[in-house]
Amino acid sequence: MSVLILALLCGAVVGLALGALGGGGGVLAVPALVYLLGVAPADAGTMSLVVVTITSVTALARHAGTGNIRWRTGALFAAAGVAPAIGASVLAHRIPQALLTTAFAVLAAFAAVVMLRGLRAAHGARRSVASASPAAAPEQAVATAGSVRAGRTETPAVRAALRTAGTSTAAQDAGAPVRQDTGGAEAPSRSAVRAGHLRTAAAGAGLGAVTGLLGVGGGFLAVPALVSVLRLPMRKAVGTSLVVILINSVVSLATRMAAGGTSLDLAIFGPFVGAAVLGAWDGKRLAAKLSGAALQRTFAVVLLAMAVFMLIDAFV
């Protein structure tokens, strides 16, 4: 198979991942560039960031009109990762490649396991909501509804329970616990809100560091982080993660270019980027046809397969 055809195929898969899953482009791009297209490891991370940046803009444009993007949440989440992304980008060239590969694979596997466990928890929560009687056990129904929401699945029963509980969208955006309507009771304490902000900042900083260090957009961690920390439903997490990916990628790419530059093979880079952009548009159509659970399962399986492959390559 010629390099041109291989670059087109790899780019298309990366674009589909970004468009349909809101992430995974970088986690697929780096191994594809190194193992399939023969790009030097030093340039693969930088080239991956270029690809992820361009395809993220494309995917973001497709998601913009769906109402699945919380712009303020994504911007604040990404802002916390700017400084770590810069520092990690500078350190990326000083850390052995084998160590980076191992860390990359471990993080990908961890994210996949968390998402698969979330699927099981969501399935159990849905069954509890279906069997619970709102008149007999309202507290149980509301608590279960919150669990299902955290598991990225919203049924009509869940939405009704959440409305009864007085869910505060602003509190969700800030990462604070959900406020319940207690008949005039006080809003969440300042310490609770501050703890939510700290969790959001910590998660954003971690994603920025991962982006700068490993040369990926961070989408494979952004989606589960947005779900678990900010309690976003799966589809809103997918759309919002694109904002986080774009900001982190631009910052890391600019830092890498300023620190040492890179040499891009246009014979590989051009077809790869072009196919990725087209794939991102098709990926959005694919996302509209699949349920949130199907997207999550696909995402987790891809991450696990990639993690296993990279660990085998690093130690065998």
pLDDT tens-digit readout, 106-143: 877 887 887 788 777 776 777 777 776 554 444 444 44
Q: What angle, rounded to 10 degrees, do the helices at 71-79 and 190-214 form?
A: 70
* pLDDT at res. 1: 65
| Other beta carbons within 10 Å of 131 | 11
Q: What pTM was estimated for this model as a whole?
A: 0.64
**What is the tens place of the pLDDT at every residue in 247-295?**
988 998 888 888 765 667 888 888 988 888 788 777 767 767 776 677 7
CA distances from 9 to 4, 45, 163, 178 (A): 9, 19, 46, 44
* pLDDT at res. 83: 92
Higher pLDDT, 23 or 214: 214
Q: Which two tokens stand for residue 100?
A: 């980076």
Mean pLDDT within 169-193: 51
* pLDDT at res. 311: 85
- For residue 108, what is the enclosing H or E element? helix 97-131
| CA–CA distance, 237 with 222 (Å, rounded to integer) | 8
- List helix spans (H) across 137-188: 138-150, 156-164, 169-174
* pLDDT at res. 139: 46
* pLDDT at res. 201: 85
List the one residue out of 219, 211, 214 whose CA is nearest residue 252: 211
Residues in the chain: 316
| CA–CA distance, 249 with 121 (Å, rounded to integer) | 32
Whether the Cβ atoms of residue 221 and residue 107 lie closer than 8 Å to each other: yes
Mean pLDDT within 94-105: 79
**What is the tens place of the pLDDT at every residue in 219-236?**
667 877 888 788 888 888
- State the chain's mean pLDDT as an integer: 74
The rounded Cα 127 to chain-centroid distance in angstroms is 27
| Other beta carbons within 10 Å of 85 | 29
